[in-house]
Chain A
Amino acid sequence: MPWNDKKPQGTDPLSEYPSMLTNQLTSIASAMEQHFYWTVGSGRSAGIPALSTVTGSARAYFGPQSQVSSSTATNLLKAQAGRLMLTSDTTRFYMIQGNSSATTGTGPVLLGSDHIVANYGASFVTVQTDTRWLEQCGVTSGVSCFVNTHVAFPSQYSVTPIVQVTCSAQSSGSVAMAFLTGLDKSGFTVTVSPAPTTITASPLSTAVYWISTGTVAL
């Protein structure tokens, strides 16, 4: 039923008023029910965004990367905090903060992209709600040969993470190998030893590079 904002005219007969009003109300309901509860459901739910299954009721801005900054509150008439934007040329997903305060300032926040790394662990079935994958890394200097050195994770994991370690060669050319000798949710223990085949001199100590991957509470 088409929307008609030119009716009624002053010369229209009164007999047309009921059908005119019915048509307008039907048009409003049809339009609103594209994305909102209206006549469907209880009166209390009228106006609530519907849980869409075809075309979602959460529509982000869509345009080139160059338009991201122009979507902020200072350049548009609408309040922008809480809106989203998907860039058409770089496939990035942004959150528009408007004037709200946040750890990253007030500009658009990059939330995701087609280059984001999805971590699944060893199986697809291990994904849990209310958790996030956390990757931490660091450099621990002064790790002596054949001495266990403990490294605490900056944030403790929910379960024992995966840890990779490697160590740097010293400026003297001596080469060492790093080995994990202990691991739990809060940290790991590493020891280094001279490489058996390429040793030129026994390193006294070296730096260990490490990276850990595991889950923590959301």
Chain B
Amino acid sequence: MSQSPINWVEGIPSGTSAVGTFPGFAQSTWTAMAQGMSTELFWPGVGGGSSLSAGVLQPGGSRVFVGTQSQSSNSAVGDILGRGMYWSDRSELVVYDSAGTHLGGSPFAVHYGTSPSIVTQLSSLSRAVYTQFTGTVVLGSGVTTTTINVSFPTQFVGSGLPLGFYPIYITASSNSSGQGNYQVTVTSQTSSGFTATASLLSVSGTTSLSGATIMWQALFRTATA
């Protein structure tokens, strides 16, 4: 289905048009303009808007570029800024910024919803986002047991958090020869970070180690959207 074309005439008035036809022509022109504009904008008259709302976009009254990723080009200046493009071959939305192109949305993004404690206890927070932080801690040479303290860049909102309130994942690497493996255990966690203990396991017949890396990953909800 398509909308009927508006009665838009650009060839009138001409130099031979009668003056008496102008009132009717002018009114039909205003009506045609209002009809055309009111498809996407509020407009007085047929558009259903008042003079105050004239020109305001109706819901859905915007469209982003639609095309393949190869057709995407960001000059990073001028009228391209702030525009969005939907990559039809990848089903993803990108937005154009002066510094480059950002991913605006994707059906492949992860939507968190498996932890009732996080979801329900902070559901009243407006502008809250699920936030994942990752990082590394490099252990020194010859460490057999050590305490690891990690501070998050932003604070999780909450108080009296029990251990396990938000999930933390930790894996330790060994050195290039595979000597010396660490067992890492989370011992406490707060709204701003966590503490873990790394203990060397002499599973490969050595107690010396250099260059081992502790990789951590934490997922929780913040109010810093």
Please give the residue numbers on chain A whose beta carbons come within 8 Å of chain B beta carbons, in ascending order.
1-10, 12, 17, 24, 27-28, 30-36, 45, 48-49, 51-52, 55, 57-63, 71, 77-78, 81-85, 93, 95, 97, 100-104, 109-124, 128-130, 132, 135, 146, 148, 162-165, 177-183, 191, 193, 196, 211, 213, 218
Can you show 29 pairs from A to B with CB atoms below 8 A apart?
A: A4-B30, A28-B33, A30-B55, A31-B37, A34-B55, A61-B59, A61-B60, A82-B66, A83-B60, A97-B86, A103-B89, A104-B107, A109-B91, A111-B105, A111-B107, A112-B104, A114-B128, A116-B110, A116-B129, A117-B109, A117-B131, A119-B134, A122-B133, A132-B106, A164-B171, A177-B183, A179-B178, A193-B181, A218-B101
Contacts of A8 in B (CB 8 A): 22-23, 26-27
B132 touches A118 (CB 8 A): yes
In Å, the complex CA distance between A32 and B36 comes to 13
Q: Is the CB of A213 within 8 A of B134?
A: yes
A71, B31: Cα distance in complex, Å: 27
- Chain A residue numbers with a CB within 8 Å of B45 are 3, 5
> Measured between C-beta atoms, what is the minimum distance from A105 to chain B in Å?
9
CA distance A174 to B181 in the complex (A): 19
Cβ contact within 8 Å between A100 and B62: no
Chain A residues within an 8 Å CB radius of B109? 111-112, 116-117
- Interface contact tally, CB-CB below 8 A: 250
Within 8 Å of chain A (Cβ to Cβ): is B130?
A: yes
Query: Quick one: closest B residue to A121, CB to CB?
Result: B134
Nearest 3 CB-CB pairings of A with B: A129-B100, A111-B105, A31-B55
- Shortest beta-carbon distance from B26 to chain A in Å: 6
From A3, A59, A165, B60 is in contact (CB under 8 Å) with A59
A146 to B174: give the CA distance in the assembly, Å. Answer: 13
Contacting pair A117 B43 (CB below 8 A) = no
Encoded as 1 (CB less than 8 Å from any A CB) or 0, chain B from 199 to 219 comes to 001011000000000011101
Q: Who on chain B is nearest to A81 by CB? A: B66
In the docked arrangement, what's the CA distance between A21 and B100, Å? 45
CA distance A148 to B176 in the complex (A): 11
Q: How far is the CA of A162 from the CA of B89 in the complex (A)?
A: 29
Query: B55 and A85: CB pair below 8 A?
Result: no
Residue of A nearest to B98 (CB): A129
Given the contacts A129-B102, A196-B201, A24 and B60 also touching, CB distance less than 8 Å: no
Add 16 more A-B contacts to A32-B55, A113-B111, A129-B101 (CB < 8 A): A8-B23, A30-B55, A34-B57, A35-B57, A49-B62, A59-B59, A61-B59, A95-B64, A102-B91, A104-B107, A111-B105, A116-B130, A120-B153, A122-B136, A129-B102, A218-B101
What chain A residues lie within 8 Å of B90 (beta carbons)?
102-103
Q: In the docked arrangement, what's the CA distance between A123 and B134, Å?
A: 9
Q: Give the interface segment out of B8-16, B77-85, B140-148.
A: B77-85
Within the complex, which residue of B88, B130, B136, B173 is in contact with A118, where a contact is CB–CB below 8 Å?
B130
A77 to B129, CA, bound (A): 36
Q: Give the CA-CA distance A25 to B66 in the complex, in Å.
A: 33
Query: Which residues from B are CB-within-8-Å of A122?
Result: 133-136, 153
CB distance from A196 to the nearest CB of B (A): 6
Q: Does B163 contact A (CB under 8 A)?
A: no
Alpha-carbon distance A111/B108, docked complex (angstroms): 8
Q: Do A213 and B217 touch across chains, with their CB atoms under 8 A apart? A: yes
Shortest Cβ gap from B122 to chain A (Å) = 11
Q: Which B residue sits closest to A105, measured CB to CB?
A: B91
Chain B residues positioned under 8 Å from A6 (CB to CB): 27
Chain B 90-119: CB-based contact to A (< 8 A → 1; otherwise 0): 111110010111111111011111000001
Contacts of B41 on A, CB cut-off 8 Å? 31, 34-35
